[in-house]
Structure 1
Amino acid sequence: MAQVVIVGCGDVGSRLAAQLQQVGHTVTGVRRSAVPLPAGVQALQADVGVAACPADWPAQVDYLVYAVAAGAGGEAAYQAAYVEGLRNVLGWLAQRGQQLKRLLFVSSTGVYGQSDGQWVDETSPSEPAGYSGRILLAAEQLALESGQPASWLRLAGIYGPRRGYLLKQAQSGARAEPLQFTNRIHADDAANLLATLIAQAEQGAALEVGYLGVDDEPAPLDEVLAWLRAELGIAAGTGELAKRRAGSKRCSNQRARALGWQPQYPSYREGYRVLLAQNAL
């Protein structure tokens, strides 16, 4: 079994840690704050902003999942979390003379700038309009050029328990522009895709440099909001979204599916129906 370190062991990272432990892997979760992790996960409190390797860094690391989030908004916070933080963690590995089986960098489909509803996959041009996408692309490249075998995973909008942004928008009666396509993935499916990548690498599969983590059904945002309103029994209003969405694209998960991965929640309907039934949003 492998030794896995998850840097930025938040919601998705904790779900991944639990899945990995179930199949016998040893997992260390790295967080800046002393937040409890799932039972059995070795907790390591460390800051990726520090260049020196933590004293209690594991003696062996087979897989490293870099899944941090910018602590605050703004370009400087993104640069610090994704590029400088990753550079420091790569330095930690170098300081300990550690060579990974695989580095998995968790990125975002926000690196795509497509806005006409076209389909995109891992080979499509990545030309983001904003700083967040540009910084994530730079971090992906840093991972690929690190000297460690690496892959990126571009996740779409993650939803799940306590991730109730769209529900709040639906409750407010907000409407979106027609045919403004969005993509999403349930937090459990995001974690399972990461676990699948590790399992495939453990079995000797040659992983691609990148994968998209999305469900089977990109959908117009207004359609998703209308469905949620119907489930909640709320009439449509005339309000605008709290955050205006940029871009409009349909992301394909065919490369991830070719690995044998299947989303437990293939569309927003299955995922949100469970969350609504559990009152978990």
Structure 2
Amino acid sequence: MSAPSVLIAGCGDVGSRLATQLLAGHWQVYGLRRNVSRLPTGVLGVAGDLFSAQCPADWPTATLDYLVYSAAATDHDEAGYRAAYVEGLQHVLGWLKQHGQQPKRILFVSSSSVYGQQDGEWVDETSPTVAGGYSGRLMLEAEQVARDSGIPASIVRLTGIYGPGREWLLTQVRRGYRVAIDPPLYANRIHVDDAAGLLAFLLEADRRGVALDDAYIGVDDAPAPMAEVVGWLREFLGVTEWADDASVRRAGSKRCSNARAKALGWMPKYSSFREGYAAILEGRC
């Protein structure tokens, strides 16, 4: 069997970790980003701008078995999200068509922001997607672009990604971060290595002929109240002081289920925030 090929469009942090995992499995990996010098060794660079309709000059001419669309917005407003997720995907699909390429499947990296639930209820891939903000609405629009592409598509809705270099919460806890305790504010997380691992798992499953569903949620095994997460981190870090400002209550509270991905055989390496943050703080990831 010849080595499968994949183009990772938007090959940043998650995409690069995915590329590294696939290279270890002898995939041929193309990575599209503006600065290809930052791609992992072994990735075939495609210097391009997802925000431009101009096809990259070094677009691969070989067969592309898979497309992973893993963009990140550079401007966190409505126009920025539309450019990154809706228009960027449309550009890539146009470039594929321009070169007569028809991948076997698209994995579109989306977000749990498509779920607007706020009362701590459990959500899965069959739950209503009634996004309250522009980010969720535009993600849903982009998901539909993927589904309407004429290429089989699976949507991967990642929850709050954390890991090395993604340490906002750790910084806040060290400063005495306060969060509301009652009612509990549930948060959902996935370690960045597990986010990449889920994408790799789905690609390998499809390669073996496993039938994939149209959507998966990427989350660890244990959504938890923010107060519990902060309390555990305070103890681990030895933080004893609290910030002077009042408790913070962020909008939205839901518990995302990974049952569908686990039924397929995927298991997160970091099953909860405890394992993941301990690995970061102990320098093990």
Structure-1-length-normalised TM-score: 0.96
Which residue, 51, 54, 72 being the options, matches 1:52?
54
- Is the 8 Å Cα contact of residues 169 and 242 (structure 1) preserved in structure 2? no
Aligned twin of 1:226: 231
Which residue, 99, 103, 108 being the options, matches 1:96?
99
User: How much identity, in percent, do the aligned residues show?
Assistant: 56
Deviation sequence 1:117-166 (CA, Å, 0-9, x none)? 00000000011110000000000011001111111100000011011111
Aligned twin of 1:262: 267
How is 1:7-26 mapped onto 2 (pairs within 5 angstroms)? 7-26=9-28
- Is the 8 Å Cα contact of residues 176 and 240 (structure 1) preserved in structure 2? no
Alignment RMSD = 1.6
* Structure 1: tracts of 5 or more residues without a match: none
| DSSP-derived class of the 1:58 partner | coil
- Is the 8 Å Cα contact of residues 226 and 236 (structure 1) preserved in structure 2? no
Aligned twin of 2:132: 129
Q: Tell me the number of residue pairs that the alignment of Structure 1 and Structure 2 aligns.
A: 280
- Is the 8 Å Cα contact of residues 175 and 236 (structure 1) preserved in structure 2? no
Q: Name the stretch that deviates more: 267-276 or 30-39.
A: 30-39
**CA apart distance, 1:261:** 0.6
> Are 2:199 and 1:194 aligned?
yes
Deviation sequence 1:19-39 (CA, Å, 0-9, x none)? 000011000111023442111
**CA apart distance, 1:53:** 2.3
**CA apart distance, 1:258:** 1.1
- Is the 8 Å Cα contact of residues 181 and 221 (structure 1) preserved in structure 2? yes
Aligned twin of 2:257: 252
Distance in 1 between the 2:257 and 2:282 partners? 28
- Is the 8 Å Cα contact of residues 47 and 58 (structure 2) preserved in structure 1? no
**CA apart distance, 1:243:** 8.2
Aligned twin of 1:161: 164
Distance in 1 between the 2:229 and 2:269 partners? 18
Residues 1:260 and 1:96: Cα distance change in structure 2 (over 3 Å): same
Aligned twin of 1:29: 31
Letter in 1 for 2:59: W
Letter in 1 for 2:42: G
- Is the 8 Å Cα contact of residues 216 and 266 (structure 1) preserved in structure 2? yes
**CA apart distance, 1:169:** 1.2
Distance in 2 between the 1:41 and 1:260 partners? 27
Aligned twin of 1:65: 68
Which residue, 89, 100, 106 being the options, matches 2:109?
106
- Is the 8 Å Cα contact of residues 86 and 138 (structure 2) preserved in structure 1? yes
**CA apart distance, 1:44:** 1.1
Deviation sequence 1:30-57 (CA, Å, 0-9, x none)? 1023442111111111011222322311
| DSSP-derived class of the 1:250 partner | strand
Letter in 2 for 1:26: Q
Structure-2-length-normalised TM-score: 0.95
Distance in 1 between the 2:16 and 2:247 partners? 29
- Is the 8 Å Cα contact of residues 174 and 241 (structure 1) preserved in structure 2? no
* Structure 2: tracts of 5 or more residues without a match: none
| DSSP-derived class of the 1:176 partner | coil
| DSSP-derived class of the 1:40 partner | coil
**CA apart distance, 1:72:** 1.4
